[in-house]
Chain A
């Protein structure tokens, strides 16, 4: 007993030293994991953000006149976002009921279809709406073809167009969030209300709706957030007449060179989105609290149900197919006079818009053949993939085994996700203005936007590898390097591919930041589409459609790839 105790005392001294040593070693190894990602974030996000703040807080910026100038923009931003959100709820809630309560043929296809716009780049959605409803769009051209003398035009005002585009974009959010809450509702609650004498309307108003309120609120706030920060749709469909905070930042920074005012606008924007995000996360937690057994969906039975489902299915499929189909259709159709053919209009099928992309015309909007934009986009996207994977892997590794450090750093690394792309672009202009001539700023901005997605795609896969697999391998004779090569890497391959495709897709479609920082001679696909659309003439318009179609095809291919690689049960928002 005596010797035992003596040994024990010795050990505890020795033990403390050993555990301190391992503590420091573990701490250092996690810190080294964080070194690259944090340096990148500091340089690409926090430093520019502090620059913007410094700009905003200077007395020459915070003038009464400046504040008055922003007032109109702020009001309009809230106005359009609120209207868009209400419209989205109006379509989204019935659709959520349709998907969660009823079975019908082609249900999963229709559900996937409603989600497609959300995954497409904004420029593609804007171009699609332009191809359908715009002044050169299919609807108005057919109308004036049928009634050439009518003074009435059939294209909605830019404001209506923006609202519809937002509706098109965000309905899927309401369907997902409210639909999930609906199908998780305990069916016994509604049945109990029934048995207590409530008719179906009263059941809906007194039981179902109150139970759904947190999820409807959460969905509304998320939709509002997207509408509030929407950039491409407003810029491309608003005809420069309508301006929200986001587009105004762009106008002030790029067209007026009024960087202080742009900075002020972006800080206002940041505060608004921050407030909405905090509210959203509060309700997002609550929206899941009533979750229980799922209510089974069934085929519509009564006449009323059949009427509801059939009309809604028809409405949804028309609304979601028409713009997406009209874009490629319009890119292959000549509807107006070409250059130098003012009198004679040749209607019909054409591949000219695609062929034209390879030609560098004098006096065109580019210094390079438009096709170069596609090559640029692919180069940027590849660089973004490499950068974001290099930075994302260490961060995801550290986050997969969280300590106190990681709990602090986790929200920090997700912060760029909550800030608008235009603001990130503005930060780059203010901070790294002297390097704007270099095309290499763009992949860094894209990496900043893609990094949170890459980390979120990698982290669950890394966390899902049980430590005992590595231990089993090491007892079987695998050295640490061989463990990494034979266990971690093969299991992570799918997740890495998914993350890489994410980064690739995000880079391809990124518009807001790219528009601010890309050089005129290095356009990307979305920037090229914007430039084509802002120029007059049928050829420019047609090329915009062709470019947008190519981008749509590339993005769709990427989405299908991600779906193939994605882990089952990975969260959606």
Chain B
């Protein structure tokens, strides 16, 4: 349906977008994920027609949109701060686009009512938009964009101004509405949880380019770059050096946190620098072991490691350190070690205790 092709955009001397191309299929929700300043909002505004690219094309159903002004594109855009018209009440805000389309009065009121019902704001029509809460304003903005039955819906950080619980609730509603209406959607956010919760497909924007594209599960499992792993908060990203292959075809990697054995499909040479991702979720049942009394006396790494019950099979890696911070997080504890690595554990050790934990380590190339 929507096809974005080779978009370039420069502000002043800074290239903001460099050769961006992607598509959005029918009924699909695509999430543009990126840090602030990555150009994701600009991209959205170009699709809406509010800005024009330096070069590149935007097609919809095969038609080039370059000469179509924003008001003729039939795209719905939901702004971060809602952009509700302060001089109009809820009904008139939602009806605005329909009036612009010269619809009959009965049809307008029917559509307004159904749009408001869709966003759970039945009966709010007569209220002033200035008296609504943030969440209610966001729903009005959504209803306003939905009322015109757009060919494409776009969201520019729509939940950014709301608090966490409200955000989760609205996110679920939004997903239901998108599924129900089957409108293709582009959702821009810097929040990876939000992106993973709503997207069919995630595009990660960095340095003016799309550096990773895939389903949430795929991206989560294979971040494929240090930046993505770090940006998504998948775990600790560390540097290491290739130290040759093991007998079963795995690579040995040496780092300041010890030696790890990782399996990967990259072609490496000995001595090459690589990035590793230490996943904080402990394999098996989140067991950790402390150094026994004997080890405390001699204080030698070898002796401590001897007592660690190493998990079997694929996962042969262990991190060690003294716990420096333990934070309770609902069903787990986030345990940070003095060397900066962190893991999630089921039951928490005391701060200042020397521990060793079996973890999953992946190569990021």
Listed in ascending order, the chain A residues whose CB lies under 8 Å from chain B are 4, 7-8, 10-12, 14-15, 18, 466, 468-469, 471-480, 482, 486-487, 490-491
Contacts and interface: CB of A to CB of B under 8 A. Distances in A.
Contacts of A479: 69, 71, 100
14 contacts: A7-B6, A7-B8, A11-B8, A11-B54, A14-B55, A471-B48, A471-B77, A473-B85, A475-B76, A476-B71, A477-B72, A477-B148, A478-B97, A486-B96
Contacts of B74: 477
A478 B50 CA distance: 13
Contacts of B96: 473, 476, 478, 486
Nearest to A472: B83
Q: Which 7 A-B pairs rank lowest in CB-CB distance, beginning with the nearest?
A: A476-B97, A11-B55, A15-B54, A477-B100, A472-B83, A475-B77, A468-B83
A472 B73 CA distance: 13
A472 B45 CA distance: 11
Given A482-B100, A491-B87, A475 B75 contact: yes
B81 interface: yes
A457 B262 CA distance: 70
Contact of A475 (B73, B81, B86): B73
Interface string B6-44: 101010000000110000000000000000000000000
A475 B70 contact: yes
A205 B183 CA distance: 72
Contacts of A486: 85, 96
A469 B144 CA distance: 13
A474 B70 contact: yes
Interface in B78-120: 79, 81, 83, 85-87, 96-97, 100-101
Contacts, number: 92
B52 interface: yes
A460 to B, nearest CB: 15
A477 B10 contact: no
A4 B18 contact: yes
A477 B144 CA distance: 12
B10 A15 contact: yes
Given A11-B54, A471-B45, A473-B96, 11 more contacts: A4-B18, A7-B6, A7-B55, A11-B56, A15-B54, A469-B85, A472-B79, A473-B100, A475-B73, A476-B96, A486-B96
Contacts of A7: 6, 8, 19, 55
Contacts of B77: 471-472, 475
B214 to A, nearest CB: 21
Contacts of A476: 71, 76, 96-97, 100, 144-145, 148
Contact of A491 (B52, B70, B86, B97): B86
Nearest to A486: B96
Contact of A474 (B10, B54, B55, B71): B71
Contacts of A12: 10, 54
A185 B73 CA distance: 55
B102 to A, nearest CB: 10
B188 to A, nearest CB: 14
A14 B97 CA distance: 35
Contacts of A487: 85
Contacts of A15: 8, 10, 54-55
A4 B19 CA distance: 7
A403 to B, nearest CB: 15
A21 to B, nearest CB: 11
A478 B71 contact: yes
B83 A477 contact: no
